[in-house]
A and B are shown apart, each in its own frame.
Chain A
Amino acid sequence: MKITLKRTPEQVELVKAMASRNKAVAYEAQVALAEFIGPVLAEVLNQAPTLSNLFQSLQFNADDNPSIPLDLYYNISDEDYVNVWSQSHAGGLPTNQVLPTASELKLATYSLDSAVSFDRRYAAKSRMDVVSKTFTRVAQEILIKQETTSATLLMTSVASASTNSKAHVQVNEVAGKLTLADLNDLLTLAKRINTSWIGGTPTTRTKGITDIICSPETVQDIRAMAYNPINSQDADGTAPTIEGLAAPDELRMEMFRNAGLPEFYGLSIMEINELGQNQKFNNLFDTAAGSTTYYLPDGSSGGLQFDTSDDDFILGVDRTKDSLIRAVAVDSESGSEFTLIADDQYSIRQNKIGYFGSIDEGRVVLDNRVLVGKIIDRS
């Protein structure tokens, strides 16, 4: 991510004015730049291909109490009570509450903020690069906070999720790697847990999941399907023998040509470094999983307790449903989700120009049936 301020005469003048010895002029220029940059930063945050953007934005007026009428977010034939996951504050463990679909869900929001400052002389010399990098840092800090809060909510929601007596997380079929069978299992699982309220076929049948969020090692496994066998069992149902079955030629050619896969098996792939053995979000899932034992798709064999040092995790998400919601406050003055204000705490002798940026948001998982997971045992 890079935010660049163009070196136009107007902007150079504005940045110079920020370093004025006249306090009123300097502060006015700083406020003008904040008003101009704030909406740009909000746009940057919303465009970044991150875990945070799996959530659908629901804007509300700042200083208001956001709420969702739950019945509008569920099908008329859905269950009467639903499990809603939310986080009361940034850095807390998310909790779930069972709510009747006829109720109004009040959303807890919290503020994610960042404060930066730079030396006045950079503004005096019209160093646009320093000013640009300062705002890039603000955006980065907010993004990392959004990523962490999103991941905590998603991992906690999926770790203990169970619908129709089926756990939403399963163990992979062939030890040590992801196979096509695992993706196939995920799609079946997603269909099995998305039933009508009487347990039958829902009126709106979806593919099951639309996106997978996985580690680089998992994407490596997918690329490896170009030159490795893909079968998970022999014709008689036993474990595959030494002579495996290769993927169709067309599929392998696609793998060779597109090493940086954006999509596979009809699923969008989001590759993140925070997943994988001993990585940040893997550790989060490990914490959320606790002593839970996960099984193979048959639900009874191959019991495994997730261990971040041995296992990898893949998260499957169905984005066709409006279940991952991010309530975000919109500033009444600027009309932007991101509020950037000139920091007035520095006295003129300190020779500092500061900015304080914040975003007021709250995230909820209205229905955890949109989340499924696959553990890749790499021990």
Chain B
Amino acid sequence: MERLLIGLNPLIIPHLKKVTSKEVAFFYVIYYSRVYNRYMSEKEEPYEEVTTGQEKPVKKGIVEEIQEMKERGEINTAAYKEKIKQLEVILGVQQLSPFETNELDIFEDNLKSMNLTDMMRMAQKAGLNPQLDRPKLKAAMLKEFKAYTRNNRNNIIPNPVESVKLDPDNPTHASTIKMLQDLGL
């Protein structure tokens, strides 16, 4: 009996210890008949899908990620700021703007990490007088940045503007079109 139990699942051994050798033999017959049927059956059993790890997951673009964060109201998080930084690099804002960003909070962070030489170099690129002491230069750069980006801040992904579509087949719209045409618009 003990020999028969060798190789079986240890979880079922305590249950089997209470049974007789006849019952064990019956158990083996049932078990092997099931295994035999599974392998010899012509009908295929349903199988679990196995991934090879080679498939590419559906990619989400950085613009979509930023839009989703905006919708969730996560615009004041570090992750959002990081995404905006990444987008600015892709859109070439570093070359387009002498301040290398259009976002005030990113610019303030950059200013904190700059030494005087870096600030003087940036001031020169922005057309500011670089021959100032550090606090005055910093204030001048912040003022100039705000003036430079007054229409661009927080507007890296502007919302698309859709004009009103007038359908000439719709009687109400048709009368509006006629009125606009009469007005010369």
| Residues of A bordering B, CB below 8 Å | 81, 88-93, 95-100, 103, 112-113, 115, 117, 144-145, 148-149, 152, 280, 283-284, 286-291, 305, 307, 343, 345-347, 350, 354, 356
Contacts and interface: CB of A to CB of B under 8 A. Distances in A.
A113 B97 CA distance: 9
A100 B177 CA distance: 11
Nearest to A293: B58
Contacts of B61: 286-291
A91 B159 contact: no
B67 to A, nearest CB: 10
A343 B63 contact: no
B25 interface: no
A117 B124 contact: yes
B60 A280 contact: no
Contacts of A307: 56, 59
Given A95-B161, A98-B165, A290-B64, A89 B155 contact: yes
A93 B63 contact: yes
B125 A305 contact: no
Nearest to B94: A91
Contacts of A286: 61
A350 B131 contact: yes
Interface of B: 56, 58-64, 87-88, 90-93, 95-98, 102, 124-129, 131, 151-152, 155-163, 165-166
Contact of A115 (B62, B124, B156): B124
6 contacts: A91-B96, A148-B92, A287-B91, A290-B61, A291-B58, A343-B127
Contacts of B160: 95-97
Contacts of A290: 59-64
Given A290-B64, A291-B64, A148 B91 contact: yes
B91 A92 contact: yes
Nearest to B158: A95
B158 A92 contact: yes
A93 B166 CA distance: 28
Nearest to B156: A92
A90 B96 contact: yes
A187 B157 CA distance: 33
Given A89-B155, A90-B97, A288-B61, 9 more contacts: A89-B102, A92-B152, A93-B87, A96-B160, A115-B125, A115-B126, A290-B62, A290-B63, A354-B127
Given A95-B159, A305-B56, A284 B96 contact: no
A152 B95 CA distance: 13
